[in-house]
Amino acid sequence: MTSLQSPLLAGAFALYLFSVVLYLLHVWLRRPLLWRGAFILVLAGFALQTFILGQRWAEAGYLPVTNLFSTQLFFSWALAAIYVYFELRYRIHAAGLFVMVLNLLLLGSALPRDPAIPPLIPSLDTPLFTFHIAFSFTGYAFFTMAFSLGALYLVQRRLASPLLPDLTLLRKVNEESIFLGFCLFTLCLIMGSIWAYIAWGYYFSWNIKGLWSFLVWLFYAGMCHAKFIRRWQGTGYAILSIAGFGVVLFTYLGIGLLLESNHPLN
């Protein structure tokens, strides 16, 4: 079954790629059929990715999120799930283009990597780890969605395009993304801290990854408050969403790839 994973993943990538093409055509030709087709392709890609993830989970006996490939796969899956949620809930249509391009980048950069599932080391063999990672990447995915919506907010503010959701909806969905991301990331930190305590005897590590995870939480906690301050609403909030994604990106990839940490990616 592992040998089938690469073609299936390539299939999911192709579905997302075609959905992006249809979204682009929709931007150009403005035909509702095109965005509907794009969304159907996203649903198909998401279903395929869910199958791959489920199959890998069943094969490994644990949620395989222990190396860069598998975290990228899970991150990409969570991002697609969140986009599907917002599309079904708010009908954000062409706003999906930006999210799906990000998803393509994420999945595309995972494809050349080895999909083999590494053996689980004993300290990771606990449901706390599974919850910690699942909440972490779902939180990251919401922050990525917020980044996309923040960027779109700035675009829409300048272009006032009928293709994009209006500013009020973009702001509302952005706030919801930040809020849900913050909630899930809080759960991630709780699970991670309890796990660290039982595994290493302390719940907060002064490792750079531990510190930046706390910074991600603190940053978005600040954002959850900033939405009540007039100056930070709208454009300010969109800019903060973009800046926050920078913090997330550094915490996820920057530390793992550029610096030494106790959360290695490979």
Partner 1 sequence: MLTRIWKFLCSLKVAVFLASAATLLLMGGSLVMHYHPRIFGGMDHMLLGDWFAGMGNRNLEIAWWLPTAGVLLALLGVNALCCFIDWLFSLRARWRKTGEYLIHLGFVLVLFAYFWGTLSGFRSEGNRLLVGESLPLRDMPGYTLRLDAFEPLFNEKGRPVDMRSTVTLLREGTTLQRQVVKTNSPLIYRDLVVVPGSFGRVAEGFRFFLSGGGGVSLIPGSRTPVAGGFLRVLNFFPDAEKLPDGKAVFRSESLGNPAIELELDRPGFDSWHGWYYLKEGLPFPLVQAGVRLWPTDPVYRLYSVLTVNRDPGAGIALAGALSMFAGVLFAMASFYYKRSRGERPDVL
138 contributes a contact to partner 1 by CB under 8 A: no
Instruction: Provide CB contacts within 8 A for 37, sequence distance 6+.
Output: 22
Stretch that binds partner 1, among 54-62, 75-83, 156-164, 203-211 (CB under 8 A): 203-211
**266, HSE (Cβ side, Cα atoms, 13 Å):** 7
Which of 21, 43, 44, 208 is the binder for partner 1 (CB under 8 A)? 208
CB 214 within 8 A of CB 193: no
215 contributes a contact to partner 1 by CB under 8 A: yes
Please say which residue, 50 or 233, places its beta carbon nearer to partner 1: 233
Please say which residue, 33 or 259, places its beta carbon nearer to partner 1: 259
32 contributes a contact to partner 1 by CB under 8 A: no
By CB under 8 A, the residues from 233 to 262 that bind partner 1 are 233, 247, 259-260
Which of 202, 257, 264, 266 is the binder for partner 1 (CB under 8 A)? 202
Stretch that binds partner 1, among 74-82, 108-116, 145-153, 181-189 (CB under 8 A): 181-189
228 contributes a contact to partner 1 by CB under 8 A: yes
Query: For the CA atoms of the chain, what is the radius of gyration?
Result: 19
Which of 18, 62, 85, 203 is the binder for partner 1 (CB under 8 A)? 203
d(CA 134, CA 63): 9
Own/partner contacts of 253-259, CB < 8 Å, gap of 24 or more, are 255/208, 255/209, 255/212, 256/68, 256/209, 259/208
d(CA 63, CA 219): 28
Q: Which residues of 205-219 are buried (b: 16+ CB within 10 A; e: fewer)?
A: beebbbebbeebbeb
Rounded to the nearest 10 degrees, how much is the dihedral formed by the CA atoms of 93, 98, 102, 107? 40
Which residues form the interface with partner 1 (CB under 8 A)?
A: 121-123, 125-126, 128, 175-176, 179-180, 183, 186-187, 190, 193-195, 197-208, 211-212, 214-215, 218-219, 221-222, 225-230, 232-233, 247, 259-260
